[in-house]
Amino acid sequence: MLKTALQGQLEYIEVSNSVSEAKIALQGAHIFHFKVKGKKPLLWLSDTALFKTGKAIRGGIPICWPWFGAHNSNKLLPNHGFARTFLWEHIETKSISEAETKVRLRLKSSEDSLSLWPYRFELTLDISLGTELRLSLITKNLDTQAFSITNALHSYLRVQDISQTYIKGLNNKPYYNKVDNSFNNIQAGKLRFTQEVDRVYQDINTPLQVQDGHGIITVKTEGSETVVIWNPAEALSSKMADLSDYQTMVCVESANALEDAPTIQANESHCLTTVLSHEEL
């Protein structure tokens, strides 16, 4: 089942099959709700999220593209690129079976995009909805020269209590700590949250598990070896008007960042995928 609706200023599509449901804003191709029927929502959405034209939605899975974080040479350009605030085209919604639905959205280069980033491209997001949520972001280079990107599927995951949450699968992995701008850190054991965490983990090639005592969220990544973990803690979240209740969220983002920045030749493509599933205890 597919229907369209408005939330605030933004149009979204609502998809439902026999096992799951989702809401996807056309601005940013932004999935802001996903739920397996009979379970709690998998994705976190801020109670004070803004659904306004040109503003990113706080929660769900924003798309950071064609750069992650601040632009490396021009700090006046939008943080995390422009894909998350541009209007995408809904190409199709297809029922694969009663329990699986696929949605495809597309963004092409335009005068507006070329004013921010001087390359021609086609960006496709394929979303598979079933007992798990799978997103594949495909960048196709339509220019005459190669370009490099950094990007992320900035997944906000819902947890019961961040103080009781930990992440398995990061032991002995190197990471950049954005909070104190330190490199060459090594994770020891499980990652727990006692303060602000903003880290770029590298050499990630196996699934991660987010555990909060009430359930387990598994995060699988394809097309990168980088995962970004973020929770703002109280001090930072209190300065962010659109971020409520940091205690019930953690971002685990499949990403290409730092040295993991693919170069895409003319007429070639790159695919970044995240697969999210959860088990309630």
pLDDT per position as a tens digit, 60-74: 999 999 999 999 899
Looking at the chain, the whole-number percentage of residues with pLDDT higher than 70 is: 100
Q: Residue 238: CB partners within 8 Å, gap ≥ 6?
A: none
Domain ranges in the chain?
A: 2-280
Please say if the pLDDT value at position 21 is more than 90.
Answer: yes
**Per the residue annotation, which of 71, 253, 270, 278 is the catalytic one?**
253
In this prediction, residue 37 carries a pLDDT of 96
Q: Which of 252, 240, 243 is nearest to 277 (CA)?
A: 252
**What is the band of 2 on the pLDDT scale with cuts at 50, 70, 90?**
confident
Query: pTM of the entire structure?
Result: 0.97
In this prediction, residue 143 carries a pLDDT of 98
Q: Are 116 and 77 in contact (CB under 8 A)?
A: yes
**What is the band of 236 on the pLDDT scale with cuts at 50, 70, 90?**
very high
Backbone angles phi, psi at 233, to 5 degrees: 60, 180
In this prediction, residue 255 carries a pLDDT of 98
First to last CA, the chain: 30
In this prediction, residue 4 carries a pLDDT of 87
**Per the residue annotation, which of 33, 154, 270, 278 is the catalytic one?**
154
Amino acid at residue number 281: L
Laid out side by side, the sheet with 215-222 consists of 89-97, 100-108, 121-129, 133-141, 269-280, 215-222, 208-211, 166-168, 191-192
In this prediction, residue 5 carries a pLDDT of 83
Q: Which of 134, 125, 106, 126 is nearest to 20 (CA)?
A: 134
In this prediction, residue 54 carries a pLDDT of 96
Assigned CATH for 2-280: 2.70.98.10
Is 278 an annotated catalytic residue? Answer: no
The residue-averaged pLDDT of 178-194 equals: 97
Is 253 an annotated catalytic residue? Answer: yes
**What is the band of 256 on the pLDDT scale with cuts at 50, 70, 90?**
very high
pLDDT digits (tens, 9 = 90+) for 90-139: 999 999 999 999 999 999 999 999 999 999 999 999 999 999 999 999 99
The residue-averaged pLDDT of 148-168 equals: 98
pLDDT digits (tens, 9 = 90+) for 196-231: 999 999 999 999 999 999 999 999 999 999 999 999
